[in-house]
Structure 1
Amino acid sequence: MTTTHLIRQKNPPAILSLGFRPFFLLGSIYAAVLIALWVPWFLGLISVPSAFPPTAWHAHELLFGFVPAIVAGFLLTAVPNWTGRAPVRGLSLGALVLLWLTGRIALALSAHLDPLLTAALCVSFPLALAAVIGREIVAAKNWRNLKIVGALIGLAGADALFHYEVFEFGRLKHAQTLAVAVALLLVMTIAGRIIPFFTTNWLKQNRPGALPQLFGRYDMAAMLLSGAALLGWACLPVLESLTAQARPIVGSAMIAAAAAHFYRQSRWTPLRTFAEPLLAILHVAYVFVGLGFLLSGLGVLNDNFEFASAGLHAWTTGAIGTMIIAVMTRVSRGHSGRKLTAPVSTVVLYATALIATCARIGAALHPELTSILLPVSGAAWILAFGGFAALYGPMLMKQRL
């Protein structure tokens, strides 16, 4: 038995016993704090000592701060089940948490730091996470999940590009769309496995009848189509310089991907799950994957900024944000020994997350209402993720029942 394995066997504090505990807690707190800062900053009411302008800081910290924290919590909890190996815990887990925190502090104070140092501190976390997850997968020869490592490396690359574009050009060109595409592919991959699996288990116990179709050839075809559409979307400015047909081709591919995801979801029998909100919210969140493709596709076809922005926020606030709170509540309840059912307080979290999503999409489609809908969306987002930290924080810091 190796020294590392022996260290892992020791009993660390509850908060460092599994990856979901520190990362879900800190990630949810950070999600609430960054929106609480960004909305008044965006409206010109406060200033922040960051070298990034408010819109770029907001995008960066959602895509490279908040999202990787939750992804880390999920993967560090799920990978031991995939591989049969001991989980990363204790000092090793604490080091990853510290690395994530360092990146957040560096970006917040980046006006006083060297740009290269800021970039290095931010990019180091997804690379370290990829190395840890990759080590576990390779050691267990769990080759089919190596694509997760590739996605993490892609996220790190998008983060590096983000820093380069901000400091070289003063604005974003490709990094934000690339990061959204990678994050969305992660959501589609993970959700495509856990939603039908969780739905099947619940239906067998509670609603005998038709069961979801598990991951198969159709899902693979939908993922390939989506990947191609997202690649075209992320590279649209380059493609437009090469051919006048770029917009019709990419826009049509995105609308086709929307149809593919709506049909994909219909194969998971979503309407049979609404008696249990803990399960139903996963299906509701996935609706925004298809909706984002549809709105973004219309935006590309018509060169329409409102539709493009609405599609982007359907993906980020809806598909990613709502899916995150759905997964966090389920994983936290299951791994802390609670019943896999959503109490009223948790349903309120889901409602506020959906309000945040709908208000943000509405603000994109109706810019004249931004001063009303943006604060509504921000307040609802803060209630959703701040509420998660308040409700679930105590169970994350205590041993499993």
Structure 2
Amino acid sequence: MPARPPSHGFPAHRPLFLLAQAAAIVGGLVWLLPTEEPIRLHLTWLVFGMGSAAVAGYLLTALPSWTGHRASAATVWGLVSLWLVTRLLATFGCPADLAFIVADIAFHAVLMTALAVPVLRRRLWRKVPLTLAPAVLGAAELAFASAPHGSALPVAAVLLFAALISLVGGRAVPAFVGAALRSPAPPPAAGPLAPALIAGATGAVLVGAERAGGVLLAVVGLFTLARVRHWSVTRIRTHPGVAMLVLAWLWLGSGLGLLGAALIVGAGAPAPVTVGTAVHALTMGAMGSMIYAFTARATMLRTPGVLVPTRAQQIGFLLVLLSPVPRLVPWPDAPTGHAVAVLAWCLGWACLLARTIRTLQDPAPWPALSAAREVGGRVR
């Protein structure tokens, strides 16, 4: 990481993390809208909307630590504009319209270019796969938008994000654990092995080999959970910012295992071993809580060497973390259980969004996601 923050460019995490948090709330509230396609809108905002904004914000925030280069303000605000246009077209237009296709391709192409050019210039070959992530995400959204009702593409899209969380979080979470405990970072979560297994399971699901995909997911789910034993769980209880990341990681392993079991058992499986409930464990539990834990780091209180989440951020995280539970346990009245899950989810994200808005006028922190050092500005 550079000793000093880049003198040029713009802190991308601010508008993009704000969009991700707002999209999470909209993605929950679409069930209350008078629309004939709540599931499509739910995935459009919750998976692709929240996910793409969070991925863009995280990668552009990490870019200066890799290359010393920060994306320009024009690039960041261009991405914000393209994201907004894409979400509006996906919500109020036809997903197969040329305007939506162009806007979606443009967003992911601009993001990939902003990442790839400085990475290739510095010959950081290990980072090249991350620069290609936007192309994969963009292709997934276009495929989902044109998919017929009842296809396996929604499940495949969720698994795609699970693979990305496994790849990025598998290195970032143990690194943050080591930094918080002021000790060598625990070993990463097996590099590309787990994401590769998830990708293999995704391919199996797409070709109709659900049970084979389920076996792969069950194995990688258990492996994901087993990695936590190396992460000093008993010591991070006094570091809530890091504990949030580890708890989100536990949802990733649990969600993969549940989806694997659901695919193995097949149709007619009892709750919580159904594809629908397992997908919610991955989207609301793993994807939601991991994005929450990462994006919250940019607005946590800053003490020397430690990021401390505010009380509201901690309460909000617990609401998001627990929001899948009403979908996973038997509920006397299913619609009520669904409403409780949506309410907990939206309130949790509202806590974080309020904090993000409140800090927009403060000096941009550096580093944005770590308290390893503070250069310029004020420690908050």
TM-score, normalised by the number of residues in structure 1 = 0.81
1:346 aligns with 2:313: yes
2:15 corresponding residue in structure 1: 22
User: Conserved in 2, the CA contact under 8 Å of 1:255 and 1:294?
Assistant: yes
CA contact (8 A) 2:301 2:310 kept: no
Secondary structure, in 3 states, of the residue corresponding to 1:119? helix
- Structure 1 stretch 273-282 or stretch 120-129: which is displaced more? 120-129
Secondary structure of the residue that 1:271 maps to in structure 2? coil
Q: Are the counterparts in 2 of residues 56 and 172 from structure 1 also a CA contact under 8 Å?
A: no
- Are residues 1:231 and 2:203 paired? yes
Q: Which residue of 2 aligns with 1:242?
A: none
State the Cα distance separating 1:338 from its structure 2 match.
9.8
Q: Would the aligned equivalents of 1:32 and 1:386 in 2 still touch at CA under 8 Å?
A: yes
Structure 1 residues 369 and 151: CA distance shift in structure 2, 3 A: farther
- Note closer, same or farther for the CA distance 1:361–1:236 as it changes in structure 2 (3 Å cut): farther
Aligned to 2:83: 100
Asked if 2 retains the 8 angstrom alpha-carbon contact of 1:83 and 1:136, the reply is yes
Match of 1:73 among 27, 44, 57: 57
Look up the match of 1:128.
110
**Structure 1 range deviating more: 92-101 or 339-348:** 339-348
Of 138, 149, 168 in structure 2, the residue corresponding to residue 156 of structure 1 is 138
Aligned length, in residue pairs: 356
Which structure has the highest helix share of the two? 1
Q: C-alpha deviations, 1:25-49, integer Å up to 9, x for none?
A: 122122213322x1213xxxx24xx
Q: What amino acid maps onto 1:125 in structure 2?
A: F
Equivalences for 1:2-401 in 2 at 5 Å?
A: 17-36=10-29, 38-41=30-33, 46-47=34-35, 53-85=37-69, 87-110=70-93, 115-165=97-147, 169=148, 171-204=149-182, 213-215=186-188, 218-233=190-205, 235-237=206-208, 239=209, 247=211, 249-304=212-267, 306=271, 307=273, 308-333=275-300, 340-362=307-329, 366=330, 369-400=333-364, 401=378
SS in 1 for 2:359: helix
Following TM superposition, by how much is the alpha carbon of 1:291 offset from its aligned partner in structure 2, in angstroms?
0.8
For residues 76 and 327 of structure 2, the distance between their equivalents in structure 1, rounded to whole angstroms, comes to: 35
C-alpha displacement of 1:322:
0.2
Does structure 2 retain, via aligned residues, the 8 Å contact 1:25–1:396? no
Q: Letter of the 2:334 partner, please give it.
A: T
TM-score (norm 2): 0.86
Assess, with a 3 A threshold, how the Cα gap between structure 1 residues 325 and 174 changes in structure 2: closer, same or farther. same
Q: Give the secondary-structure state (helix, strand or coil) at the position aligned to 1:340.
A: strand
* CA distance in structure 2 between the aligned counterparts of 1:336 and 1:261, rounded to whole angstroms: 31
- 2:280, 2:324 within 8 Å by CA — same for their partners in 1? yes
For 2:349 and 2:56, locate their aligned partners in 1 and report how far apart those are by CA, in whole Å.
17
Instruction: Please say if residues 299 and 356 of structure 2, whose CA atoms lie closer than 8 Å, have aligned partners that are also in contact.
Output: yes
2:198–2:217: 8 Å Cα contact kept in structure 1?
yes
Match in the other structure for 1:4: none
Give the Å deviation of 1:388: 1.0
| Whole-angstrom CA distance in 2 between matches of 1:64 and 1:182 | 11
SS at match of 2:234: helix
Q: 1:219 to 1:9 in 2, by over 3 A?
A: closer
Q: 1:332-391, CA deviations, whole angstroms, 9 ceiling, x for partnerless residues?
A: 3389999511232221111111221222333xxx47632111111111111111211111
Structure 1: which amino acid aligns with 2:126?
Answer: R
- The change in CA–CA distance for 1:226 and 1:105 in structure 2 (over 3 A counts) is closer
Gaps of 5+ in 2: 1-5, 365-377
* Counterpart position of 1:208: none
SS at 1:204 equivalent: coil
Asked if structure 2 preserves the Cα contact closer than 8 Å seen for 1:22 and 1:396, the reply is: no
The residue type paired with residue 313 of structure 2 is T
- C-alpha distance 337-361 of structure 1, shift in aligned 2 (>3 A): farther
Distance (Å, rounded) in 1 between the aligned partners of 2:22 and 2:354: 9
Q: Which has the larger radius of gyration?
A: 1
Distance 1:359 1:148 in 2: 34
The answer as to whether partners of 2:176 and 2:185 remain within 8 angstroms in 1 is: no
What is the deviation of 1:9? Answer: 5.2
How far does residue 149 in structure 1 lie from its aligned partner after superposition? 2.4
The superposition leaves residues 107-144 of structure 1 with CA deviations (integer Å, 9 ceiling, x where unpaired) of 22215x97232233234322321222112211221111
- Measure the CA separation in 2 of the matches of 1:126 and 1:336: 36
For residues 25-81 of structure 1, give each alpha carbon's deviation from its aligned partner in whole angstroms, at most 9, with x where no partner exists.
122122213322x1213xxxx24xxxx711111112212111110111111111110
Which amino acid letter does the alignment assign opposite residue 102 of structure 1?
V
User: Structure 1 segments of 4 or more deviating over 6 A?
Assistant: 334-338
2:333 alignment partner, SS class: helix
1:284-305 Cα shifts (integer Å, max 9, x gaps)? 0001111112111111111045
**Deviates most, 146-155 or 97-106:** 146-155
Read off the aligned partner of 1:227 and give its amino acid letter.
Answer: A
Taking the aligned partners of 1:101 and 1:326, their CA distance within structure 2 comes to 23
Distance in 1 separating the partners of 2:334 and 2:303: 40
Q: Secondary structure at the match of 1:278?
A: helix
> What letter matches 1:231 in structure 2?
G
Counterparts of 1:63 and 1:382, CA distance in 2? 15
Would you say the 8 A contact 2:179–2:185 is kept in 1?
Answer: no
